[in-house]
């Protein structure tokens, strides 16, 4: 049965439409995107024993906050560790494994809730679910790039948009399910986890069944690869671990890290920040609406900017992120000082669209630099930048605000320094992007090595060479 | 080896695949949009 998962069983027959692959990728990304909506469980999980209100034996929010942090940490770790395995094993095996981990994480966590053991939740949703996140996130990337050589940014943008959009489905669904399972003796979280685990497993398996890789040498109808050499788009491949030896990898690592740091800090604090900068103008209800709008721009930006990068180039897209981001971050304190809610909202919506765009454009940037062969695995290694930014961003925003408030700065101006620091980070990102040049040819894979590797793969699959 | 034959995948299959992911996503986006409108009230 497991041979069904083999890469050679996923090679598309003639006539297979490449437009079947984005929905397959979305099946996975929409499910794992639930991670962004995990906070809907936080409050109910502080009342598992007390039901109507927290008791001293109930879990604290600080304990529960670790669940998401562990999951994001293991996202980065698993994407980096299993990247090569995902690339060589093919998308179906990776999606199937991601489904097992993701659904398994929910089921183990449900047991943790039943017996009220938070370590089981750390292990379930955090470690196991985190591995599902990492493997699932990178699983369709290189497949999409191979199917859409004419528009790789748009293709990966579509999938990664799904990761941003997953919370839109998960959040109302989770609230609805908890409402259904809620009773006088149950908060309904465990049952909700079980249902979500089953639904997500089914959804992701559908993606694994649909997905196909193109046959060797396949090209879209009417597509002719550019004949003239483009300086920043290689036609060669770089082996995954050789990519780590190139300055380009680390420059892009920093570009992603800085772009994400600038966005993630304000994303988490948007509600409080908007209310504190505009007291009396933005109510808690309006702030919740603002956060929802930001999530929509985060998702839309993933598709828009990645698609745009197909036309203006990957490096130019990041230049735009850095320059526009710098200008907007510098503008935010001014909008606060003149009380312009519209200016504030518009600035942050564009910033957050570029935060999403940074995630979705990077696979195509890596493909331009390192070729398509190991782009998924290299992307996996790059996601450690996300883990790093996940720590830096919120810390910068929270601690600097706290420092300012305790030193007598009015709350409305407590974020100004942070905004200028974020703008400064984008200047560093701009310089890193400026330094990105084509990868030196000594890092390119040699054709004879590629042939040997291909033969070994065919032999490992149990088929005669050349079949 | 350009693939010009697109008969393998039917329009119905494409519709089902896109509907499978598109319908829940659209519903979720609409729900979020309704909530987001509170910003302008």
List chain A pLDDT tens, one digit each, 467 residues: 678 888 889 999 999 999 999 999 999 999 999 998 888 898 899 999 998 888 999 998 888 888 988 898 899 899 999 988 998 899 999 999 999 999 999 999 999 999 999 999 999 999 999 999 999 999 998 899 999 999 999 999 999 999 989 988 998 899 999 999 998 888 999 999 999 999 999 999 999 999 999 998 899 988 887 776 677 788 888 998 999 999 999 999 999 999 998 888 777 778 888 888 888 888 888 888 888 888 899 999 999 999 999 999 999 999 999 999 999 999 999 998 898 999 999 999 999 999 999 999 999 999 999 998 899 899 999 999 988 887 777 777 778 878 888 888 887 788 888 889 899 999 999 999 999 999 998 998 876 555 555 554 544 444 433 32
Q: Specify the pLDDT at position A229.
A: 65
Residue A389 has a pLDDT of 85
Closest residue, chain B, to A209 (C-alpha): B17
The architecture in CATH of the region A2-216 reads: Up-down Bundle (1.20)
B34, B39, B40, B41, best to mutate vs chain A, most A CBs in 10 Å? B39
Q: Do domains A2-216 and A240-443 have the same CATH topology?
A: yes
According to the model, what pLDDT value does residue A364 have? Answer: 95
Domain ranges across chain A = 2-216, 240-443
Yes or no: is domain A240-443 CATH 1.20.1250.20? yes
Distance from CA of B25 to the nearest CA of A (A): 6
A144 in contact with B, Cβ within 8 Å? no
B32/A289 CB distance under 8 A? no
Which pLDDT score is estimated for A12? 94
Instruction: Name which of B13, B27, B39 is nearest A286 (Cβ-Cβ).
Output: B39
- How many angstroms away from the CA of A431 is the closest CA of chain B? 36
Q: Residue A301: which residues within 8 A CB-CB, separation 6 or more?
A: A352, A353, A354, A355, A356, A357, A360
Residue A423 is predicted with a pLDDT of 93
Mutate to test the interface with B, among A25, A31, A40, A165 (most CBs of B within 10 A): A165
Q: Which residues pair with A220 in a beta bridge?
A: B3
So what's the pLDDT on residue A48?
93
Q: What tens digit of pLDDT does each residue of A296-309 get?
A: 999 999 999 999 99
Q: Residues B1-41: pLDDT tens digits? A: 444 444 589 999 999 999 999 999 999 999 889 988 877 77
The answer to whether residues A444 and A238 touch, using CB atoms and an 8 Å cutoff, is yes
What confidence score (pLDDT) does residue A448 get?
57
């Amino acid at each position: 049965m497991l041979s069904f998962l083999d890469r050679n069983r996923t090679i598309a027959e003639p006539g297979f439409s490449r437009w079947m692959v984005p929905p397959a990728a979305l099946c996975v990304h929409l499910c794992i995107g639930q991670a962004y909506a995990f906070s809907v469980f936080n409050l109910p999980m502080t009342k598992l024993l007390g039901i109507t209100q927290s008791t001293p034996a109930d879990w604290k929010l600080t304990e529960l906050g670790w669940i998401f942090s562990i999951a994001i940490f293991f996202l980065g770790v698993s994407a980096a560790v299993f990247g090569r395995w995902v690339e060589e094993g093919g998308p179906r095996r990776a999606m199937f494994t991601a489904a097992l981990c993701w659904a398994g994480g929910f089921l183990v966590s449900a047991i943790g809730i039943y017996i009220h053991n938070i370590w089981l939740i750390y292990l379930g949703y955090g470690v196991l679910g985190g591995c599902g996140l990492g493997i699932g996130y990178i699983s369709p990337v290189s497949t999409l790039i191979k199917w859409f050589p004419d528009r790789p940014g748009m293709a990966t943008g579509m999938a990664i948009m799904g990761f941003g959009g997953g919370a839109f489905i998960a959040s109302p669904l989770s609230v609805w399910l908890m409402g259904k399972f809620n009773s006088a003796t149950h908060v309904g979280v465990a049952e909700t986890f079980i249902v979500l685990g089953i639904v997500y497993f089914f959804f992701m398996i559908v993606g694994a069944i649909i997905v196909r890789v193109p046959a060797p040498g396949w090209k879209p109808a009417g597509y002719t690869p550019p004949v003239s050499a483009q300086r920043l788009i290689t036609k060669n491949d770089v082996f995954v671990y050789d990519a780590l030896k190139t300055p380009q990898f680390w420059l892009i690592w920093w570009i992603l890290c800085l772009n994400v740091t600038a966005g993630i800090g304000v994303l988490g604090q948007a509600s409080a920040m908007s209310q504190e900068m505009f007291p009396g103008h933005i109510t808690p209800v309006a702030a919740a609406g603002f956060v929802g709008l930001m999530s929509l721009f985060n998702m839309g930006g993933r598709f828009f900017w990645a698609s745009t990068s197909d036309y203006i180039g990957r490096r130019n897209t990041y230049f735009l992120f850095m320059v526009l981001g710098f200008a907007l971050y510098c503008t935010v304190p001014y909008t606060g000082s003149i009380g312009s809610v519209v200016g504030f909202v518009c600035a942050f919506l564009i910033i957050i669209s570029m935060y999403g765009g940074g995630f979705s454009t990077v696979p195509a940037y890596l493909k331009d630099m390192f070729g398509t062969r190991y782009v998924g695995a290299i992307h996996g290694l790059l996601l450690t930048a996300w883990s790093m930014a996940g720590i830096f961003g919120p810390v910068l925003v929270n601690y600097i605000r706290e420092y300012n408030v305790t030193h007598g700065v009015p709350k409305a101006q407590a974020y100004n320094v942070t905004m200028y620091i974020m703008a400064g980070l984008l200047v560093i990102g701009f310089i890193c992007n400026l330094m990105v040049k084509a990868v030196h040819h000594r890092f390119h894979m040699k054709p004879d090595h590629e042939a040997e590797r291909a033969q070994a793969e065919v032999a490992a699959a149990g088929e005669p060479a050349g079949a | 080896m350009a693939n010009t034959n697109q008969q393998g995948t039917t329009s119905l299959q494409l519709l089902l695949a896109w509907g499978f992911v598109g319908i829940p996503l659209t519903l979720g986006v609409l729900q979020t949009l309704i909530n987001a409108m509170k910003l302008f009230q």
